């Protein structure tokens, strides 16, 4: 039975009623594939659960968790699809995205991870810009940062989830970056599909930007913890030439600048095409 399911979509959920219907509709609209949609809600109280229960395709679990990574891991462990992704409650799949990935994956037998491009949208769902990507650069993702969007990334269940490779739930902000670096360090093959697969919503409450520009010691501490996660990734998976941490940070800065410069020609050479022709 499992072999008949092309995709598992995992959604961690908690009090995002203003966006979740758009996400659900983007899943329902997928054609030409089979999928299951697993939603793990931590106990929403804002009407989110009422909206979810309107959609018959959803398998909903409502229970407390240890955070977003823990909720996603629950879905990873339960997944039955050949390919697995996580789709946040405020993001959307492009029309035809899953079919495009399925067709592409048929010619990528060695791929463990397939990732594509995405559009940034604002809180009202209005297109802002396209985030194109490029073929995988292992050191770049450690020293420059996580340039792969989780909302446009798919994992082969047989070689990732079935090997008990989960998110590190101690990471709260850069869990995707740590995960990609760890998978790459284990030899997993990343393949880029040059298509725009999803919408990533930027509205100020995203985990990665929630505390940017804020004052106050608590907000500043949260921001520093976010930076610390990225630092831990560089130390664990990047280049460490010196015993002195300050010298290693100098190397980090040089490499980050180098990869920033390299990113632009790589993007120019790997322009994505649009899956959803109705995009504004």
Match 């799949």 to its residue by tokens.
Answer: 93
Q: What is the pLDDT of residues 158-184, one digit of tens each?
A: 999 999 999 999 998 899 999 999 999
Whether the pLDDT of residue 280 is over 50: the answer is: no
Helices 175-185, 68-78: crossing angle, 10 deg rounding? 50
- Residue 74: CB atoms within 10 A of its CB come to 18
Q: What is the pLDDT of residue 277?
A: 53
Average pLDDT over residues 245-258: 94
Question: Mean per-residue pLDDT for 42-58?
Answer: 97
Residue-wise pLDDT tens digits, 181-190 = 999 999 999 9
Let me know if 189 is exposed, middle or buried by CB neighbors in 10 A (0-12, 13-18, 19+): middle
57 near 28, Cβ under 8 Å? yes
State residue 220's pLDDT score: 78
Confidence (pLDDT) at 203: 78
Is residue 135 a contact partner of residue 193, using CB atoms and an 8 Å limit? no
Enumerate residues 6+ apart whose C-beta is below 8 A from 177: 141, 145, 146, 229, 230, 233
Domains annotated for the chain, with CATH where assigned, are: 2-211+262-274 (3.90.550.10)
The pLDDT, as a whole number, for residue 172 is 87
- Report the candidate in 68, 19, 8 with the shortest Cα–Cα distance to residue 47: 19
Q: How many angstroms separate the Cα of 231 from the Cα of each of 59, 210, 273?
A: 37, 19, 34
User: Is a pLDDT exceeding 60 seen at residue 206?
Assistant: no
CA distance 267 to 265: 5
Q: pTM (2 decimals)? A: 0.92
Residue 194: C-alpha distances to residues 91, 131, 139 (Å): 19, 11, 21
Classify residue 9 as exposed, middle or buried by CB count within 10 Å of its CB (0-12, 13-18, 19+): buried
Relative to beta strand 113-121, strand 153-156 is: antiparallel
């Amino acid at each position: 039975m499992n072999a008949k399911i092309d995709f598992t979509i995992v959604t961690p959920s908690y009090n995002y009623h203003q966006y979740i219907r758009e996400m659900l509709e983007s899943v329902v609209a997928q054609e030409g594939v089979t999928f299951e949609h697993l939603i793990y809600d931590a106990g929403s109280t804002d009407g989110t659960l009422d909206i979810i229960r309107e959609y018959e395709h959803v398998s909903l679990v409502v229970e407390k968790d240890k955070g977003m990574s823990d909720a996603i891991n629950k879905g990873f462990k339960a997944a039955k699809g050949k390919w697995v992704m996580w789709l946040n409650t405020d993001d959307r799949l492009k029309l035809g995205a899953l079919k495009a990935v399925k067709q592409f994956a048929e010619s990528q037998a060695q791929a463990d991870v397939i990732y594509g491009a995405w559009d940034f949208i604002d809180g009202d769902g209005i297109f802002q810009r396209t985030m194109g990507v490029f073929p995988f650069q292992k050191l770049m993702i450690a020293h420059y940062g996580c340039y792969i969007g989780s909302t446009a990334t798919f994992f082969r269940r047989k070689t990732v989830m079935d090997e008990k490779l989960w998110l590190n739930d101690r990471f709260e902000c850069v869990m995707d970056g740590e995960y990609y670096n760890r998978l790459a360090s284990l030899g997993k093959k990343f393949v880029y599909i040059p298509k725009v697969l999803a919408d990533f919503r930027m509205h100020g409450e995203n985990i990665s930007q929630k505390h940017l520009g804020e004052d106050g010691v608590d907000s500043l501490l949260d921001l520093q913890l976010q930076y610390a996660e990225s630092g831990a990734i560089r130390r664990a998976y990047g280049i460490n030439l010196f015993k002195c941490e300050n010298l290693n940070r100098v190397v980090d800065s040089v490499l980050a600048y180098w990869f920033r410069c390299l990113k632009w020609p790589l993007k120019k050479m790997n322009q994505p095409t649009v899956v959803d022709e109705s995009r504004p």
